[in-house]
Amino acid sequence: MQTKDYISYKVKSGDTLKSLALRIGLNNYKQLRLFHNKVCLEIEHLKTEELIKGQVLYVPDAQIVNLINKNNKNETIEKENAHPFRLQLQTLNASYAIEIIKEDRTGDTKTKNAIAYTLDLQFLENDENLNILKIDKTNFLINKKQPATKMQQLALQCSKSYYPIHLLVNKNSEIVGIQNTSEIKERWLKNKASINEFFTGHYAEKYISTINYKLLKSNQLEDVLKNDLVLNTILIPYKRANRTIETTFNSTFFKHNINFKITQNSERDKINQDIILTQEGFVDDPRSYKELLDPESAVNNPFFVKLKKIEGVLSNSFTINMERGISKNISALYKVDYTPIKSKETTVTINLVNN
């Protein structure tokens, strides 16, 4: 008896669910028993996977076989997607092309600047529960041009003393310090003499003095790196288990540790099986701009004028190669309205260059 959806088959000697599934092209032989039990009367149900010669087995026709195989594939992908993943720093060895566009607005005045560079990241070792991550920056461009003015070249030459930097990153993928501080100081002292000789004038002298204080007499470089927007953006998928279901979490950015509430979703790219993380967020911080700048006065000064609290949004996207466990492409937008007339918008594009 043949119907629209199934075929009535009489079991022969040597038949098994596996052999019959293989014959009709059904990928998962266990689906054959499920299909039979769904179609037949309860008295005809297969209680086990054993077949008896002469019994009737209802098997799906070609159209239903294709449908079952397709559904099984989708269910497998969904199960793989549902498994939470967290990128591991221990496998990080990558070069990224970075572009940062900053737009500042104060009243009717707007400024826009772009900087680009190559960022090399390499995991070195784990030491006393701290990961050591080597970073280097090269190939700087300012507004899509190589540093050309005297001041741009001065900044570039000074920055060469910083790198490479060995970052200390804790188990939560948070930057907590610098491991090779003494090496950076030695590089600066070695380079400073030639920089002083080549760059002269009041501005150059003041700039070099600032860098000298930053590297030798304060923790400014460490503080800057802890709040580095590019590094902290790259590290987001390393911070927590990422799930396919919608998740919400908090994360801080910028030197004032502005808190954003972030909603994250993920999906699998059907073409190459990459995972795509998308994030939408908003500033969830009770502080005003004045409180960011002077938190002590906000508490102790009775004449402190409290402004409207800061506002803002975040919109990020990560394309993650699951085979390598690494982000291939990242686009990020951070916009903060500090006051009704003062805002800053930062767009970051990060592309893997050593695919």
User: Which overall architecture, per CATH, does domain 89-352 show?
Assistant: Roll (2.30)
Are β-strands 258-268 and 93-106 bridged in parallel, bridged antiparallel, or unpaired? unpaired
Residue 46 near residue 58, CB atoms below 8 Å: no
- What pLDDT is recorded for position 4? 57
Q: What region, left, alpha or beta, does residue 25 occupy, with left being phi > 0 and alpha being psi -120 to 50 degrees?
A: left
What's the confidence (pLDDT) of residue 1? 37
pTM of this structure:
0.74
Q: Which residues of 289-315 are buried (b: 16+ CB within 10 A; e: fewer)?
A: bbbbeeeeebeeeeeeeeeeebbbebe
Give tens-digit pLDDT for 168-195. Answer: 999 989 999 999 999 999 999 988 888 9
Provide the 10 A C-beta neighbour count for residue 16: 14
Closest to 82 (Cα-Cα) out of 237, 236, 266: 266
| pLDDT score for 296 | 84
Dihedral angle, C-alpha 43, 45, 47, 52, nearest 10 °: 90
Q: Which residues contact 126 (CB under 8 A, 6 or more apart)?
A: 90, 132
Cα–Cα dist 172/168, whole Å? 11
Whether 106 contacts 340, CB under 8 Å: no
Cα separation, 69 vs 75, in Å, equals: 10
pLDDT of 200 reads 87
Pairing of strands 326-339, 342-352: antiparallel
Q: Which residues of the chain have pLDDT under 70?
A: 1-4, 73-83, 244, 270, 355
Smallest Cα–Cα separation from 224: which of 150, 303, 327, 135?
A: 135
**What's the distance, Cα to Cα, between the start and end of the chain in Å?**
57
Radius of gyration of the chain (CA): 30
CATH 3.50.50.60 for domain 6-82: no
CB 85 within 8 A of CB 244: no
- State the amino acid at position 296 in one-letter form: E
Ranges for all domains in the chain classified under CATH 2.30.230: 89-352
Residues of the chain with CATH 3.10.350.10: 6-82
Closest listed residue to residue 69, CA positions, set 28, 22, 18? 28
* 36-42: Cβ within 8 A, 24+ apart: 39/5, 39/6
Closest CA to 324 of 81, 92, 95: 92
- Which residue type does 242 have? N
Position 79 scores a pLDDT of 54
Per DSSP, helices labelled H in 163-280 are 181-198, 202-216, 220-226, 229-234, 236-239
> What's the confidence (pLDDT) of residue 232?
94
* b/e per residue 105-137 (b: at least 16 CB within 10 A): beeeeeeeeeebbebbbebeeeeeebbbbbbeb
Q: For 17-52, give the DSSP string.
A: HHHHHHHHT-S-THHHHHHHHHHS-GGG--SSS---
